[in-house]
Amino acid sequence: MTVGVVYDPIYLEHGVRGHVENATRLTEVMSMLNGSNIREKLAFLSPYKASIDDIARVHTMEYIRYIETVSSAGMASRWLDADTAVSSSSYQAALYAAGGVMTGVDCVMKDEMDSVFALVRPPGHHATSNCAMGFCLFNNIAIAARYALEKYRLERILIADFDVHHGNGTQEAFYNDSHVLYWSIHQHHLYPGTGKIDECGEGAGKGHIVNIPLPPGCGDSEYIRIFDEILMPVMQRFEPQLVMISAGYDAHWADPISTMQVSITGFARMVSRLKQIAQQYCGGRTILALEGGYNPQILALSVKATLEVLLGSEEIEDPPGFSPMKVGEKDIRDILDSIKKLHCL
């Protein structure tokens, strides 16, 4: 299995001191990878810079110019809302973040790699066509998916999003689009409040948005159950030509901003299911874009475990293990039934 990792130090230059979404997240990941036994098996790739036209596949020109202007206004940092800040390098970092996921698309579509993990900042899945939200400026995965549809004339792309927050921006981008199936598993009532079961697409996109909001306290067994009972049958119908993953690790039990109870082993099992889908339908072509995950040590271990799965390792390392808080399995039958009914599964 050939596995690529996209990274560039420009990703460290975005952000403000003291913010939970900070450069330490990536420095921790990179130092763990550099000191690990999988380093020599990975191909490290440099991202290219997305053009304005690339970003405009998802965002309005007015919004792109706004981000450029506020980012280069000569101030050390500026807050765009209560959560999202830009520094003087943020615009450049954001262009390379979108370009980083696009670099992954090119590598797997040209069969240079089986899978590519774009370790980018700022993250993207909350950014809408005209609004920065939830630490996100440009919607990296949506931009790269549109690029893949256009450049490689694809017709069916899966975007699977296991970040603990709903990717409202990605959903918005493809709400009326039959070419992308957006599938999100997230904690109900958490930021940004979207992602209800009945938000399932409109027009040509009807049925191509699959939202699975889960109650707090769910862990590996509930997540895997959702993968097996919802995602797998939906994919049998959709038959994706490319698998893209919004890989956020903030559903981990030790993450500071959610109350889910997923373990690193749980993330590895989810990635394994997604890899299986990619192998079954599209020759293993998989692209991952980093989203959340705010405990830097846990994030680093989770990314490493993800790469181990992509490399085909039989065993992954999970030093923190399972949640000490997780007792029993949550009853999610009603949620499953509602989703199955709505999507005719």
State the nearest-atom distance from the C-beta of 294 to Zn ion, in Å: 8
Q: Quickly list H helices, the chain.
A: 24-34, 52-55, 61-71, 90-109, 140-151, 168-173, 220-226, 232-238, 264-282, 296-311, 333-342
Position 124 contacts Zn ion (CB under 5 A) = no
Q: Determine whether 188 is an active site residue.
A: no
Which among 148, 69, 60, 73 is positioned nearest to 103, based on CA atoms?
Answer: 148
Select 266 or 284, whichever has its Cβ closest to Zn ion: 266
Select 4 or 124, whichever has its Cβ closest to Zn ion: 124
Instruction: Name which of residues 54 to 83 contact Zn ion (CB under 5 A).
Output: none
State the nearest-atom distance from the C-beta of 25 to Zn ion, in Å: 12
State the nearest-atom distance from the C-beta of 21 to Zn ion, in Å: 9
State the nearest-atom distance from the C-beta of 246 to Zn ion, in Å: 9
Task: Choose one: 85-93, 272-280, 285-293, 325-333; the region binding Zn ion (CB under 5 A).
Answer: 285-293
Q: Which SS3 state, helix, strand or coil, does residue 32 take?
A: helix
Select 194 or 241, whichever has its Cβ closest to Zn ion: 194
Question: Residue 148 in contact with residue 109, Cβ under 8 Å?
Answer: yes
Calpha distance 179→162 (Å, rounded): 20
Handedness of CA 85, 189, 141, 59 (dihedral sign): negative
Task: Choose one: 18-26, 30-38, 158-166, 301-309; the region binding Zn ion (CB under 5 A).
Answer: 158-166
Structure tokens at 168: 């409202």
State the nearest-atom distance from the C-beta of 64 to Zn ion, in Å: 23
Select 68 or 161, whichever has its Cβ closest to Zn ion: 161
Select 124 or 292, whichever has its Cβ closest to Zn ion: 292
Select 106 or 250, whichever has its Cβ closest to Zn ion: 250
Calpha distance 167→257 (Å, rounded): 16
State the nearest-atom distance from the C-beta of 298 to Zn ion, in Å: 13
Residue nearest to Zn ion (CB): 292
Task: Choose one: 71-79, 223-231, 281-289, 291-299; the region binding Zn ion (CB under 5 A).
Answer: 291-299
- Binding-site string for Zn ion from residue 233 to residue 252, where x marks contact by CB under 5 A and - marks none: ---------------x-x--
Among 163, 177, 222, 255, binds Zn ion (CB under 5 A): 163
Calpha distance 82→79 (Å, rounded): 7
Q: Which residues of 107-119 are buried (b: 16+ CB within 10 A; e: fewer)?
A: bbbeeebbbbbbb
Instruction: Name which of residues 165 to 204 contact Zn ion (CB under 5 A).
Output: 165
Q: How many residues bind Zn ion (CB under 5 A)?
A: 5
Angle formed by the axes of helices 264-282 and 296-311, nearest 10°: 30
Which among 299, 277, 301, 268 is positioned nearest to 38, based on CA atoms?
Answer: 301
Instruction: Name which of residues 249 to 278 contact Zn ion (CB under 5 A).
Output: 250
Query: Per the residue annotation, which of 14, 59, 125, 126 is the catalytic one?
Result: 126
Q: Which SS3 state, helix, strand or coil, does residue 20 take?
A: coil
Structure tokens at 245: 């993953």
Question: Residue 117 in contact with residue 3, Cβ under 8 Å?
Answer: yes
State the nearest-atom distance from the C-beta of 164 to Zn ion, in Å: 5
Select 219 or 248, whichever has its Cβ closest to Zn ion: 248
Calpha distance 26→182 (Å, rounded): 26
Q: List the catalytic residues.
A: 126
Contact set with Zn ion (CB under 5 A) = 163, 165, 248, 250, 292
